Amino acid sequence: MAQNTSLQLGLIGDNIAQSRAPLLHRLAGDQNGIAVRYDRLVPPARGESFDQVFDHCAGSGFRGINITYPYKEQAVARARITDPLVRAIGAINTVIFDGDGPQGFNTDYSGFMAAYQAGRGTQAPDTVLMIGTGGVGRAVAFGLVGLGVSELRLVDRDRAKAEALAHDLTTSAPDVTVIVSTDAAEAAIGATGLINCTPVGMVGYDGTPLPRSAMGGATWAFDAVYTPTDTQFLTDATAEGLHIISGWELFFYQGVHAWALFSGTPLDQSALRQALLKAG
């Protein structure tokens, strides 16, 4: 695409007042001489449904949008998805509006893999407990498959969601052992990696999905929550000596990958990281 001098972008989600996505994309625009407007769009606060907000973006000159909790799975029905892997994930977090209509992508998937590899290199995930099987959980689960996970234990308050993800994973990766459990502490026994893909721990959802007493014996932990970065889940994991992969890293890489889709322009990732951290 020809480089634009301005971009209208946005984020659809609930509880996003502290999202750093607008800053990330404005800074990315600054690197490329592109003026970025990035709106936070909260359907309940607007008195609208997700579909109404989506239609507003599609008809109001938006180049693209990000989508976050709890709309990533719902958004699949609104976009053309050409990547079979993204169709298998069943959730999208990035939409581009172009002449052929909305096209959906999942940069949570690629962003998680990049965050994991930045933190653990080529080490395999081994046996992993993942709590939460919603939109981001589905992306992370397929990312784990791409990283070579051997056994994945899924826990969700909605067992049917966990079982649906287990079915989709087994269909796509029959060599991976997938187990559905209702007890996170029990499922953590013998796990190498511990992952939180629930909103528990983010601003407005205090707490942790797994007690510290259940973390002993694991090697690494990842929390998809990044506001705040020092969730109780990661604080407890640090105290237990686990290697930490912060949700901020997922936020950073999924944003970098989304920017490439939105603009097609390059980024100095190191400079962007420093600018974000400096901004606080």
Tokens in use for 237? 């994991």
| Count of C-beta atoms within a 10 Å radius of residue 122 | 7
Q: What is the pLDDT of residue 3?
A: 66
Active site residues: 71
Q: Which domains does the chain have, with CATH numbers?
A: 6-105+250-279 (3.40.50.10860), 109-246 (3.40.50.720)
pTM of the predicted model as reported, rounded to 2 decimal places? 0.95
Tokens in use for 38? 């990035």
pLDDT tens across the length of the chain (280 residues): 456 799 999 999 999 999 999 999 999 999 999 999 999 999 999 999 999 999 999 999 999 999 999 999 999 999 999 999 999 999 999 999 999 999 999 999 999 999 999 999 999 999 999 999 999 999 999 999 999 999 999 999 999 999 999 999 999 999 999 999 999 999 999 999 999 999 999 988 899 999 999 999 999 999 999 989 999 999 999 999 999 999 999 999 999 999 999 999 999 999 999 999 999 7
Q: What is the pLDDT of residue 2?
A: 52
Task: State the SS3 of the chain.
Answer: CCCCCEEEEEEECCCCCCCCHHHHHHHHHHHCCCEEEEEEECHHHHCCCHHHHHHHHHCCCCCEEEECCCCCCHHHHHCECCCHHHHHHCCCCEEEEECCEEEEECHHHHHHHHHHHHHHCCCCCCEEEEECCCHHHHHHHHHHHHHCCCEEEEECCCHHHHHHHHHHHHHHCCCCEEEEECCHHHHCCCCCEEEECCCCCCCCCCCCCCCHHHCCCCCEEEECCCCCCCCHHHHHHHHCCCEEECHHHHHHHHHHHHHHHHHCCCCCHHHHHHHHHHHC
Q: Residues 19, 193, 218, CA angle at the centre, nearest 5°?
A: 120
Q: What is the pLDDT of residue 8?
A: 98
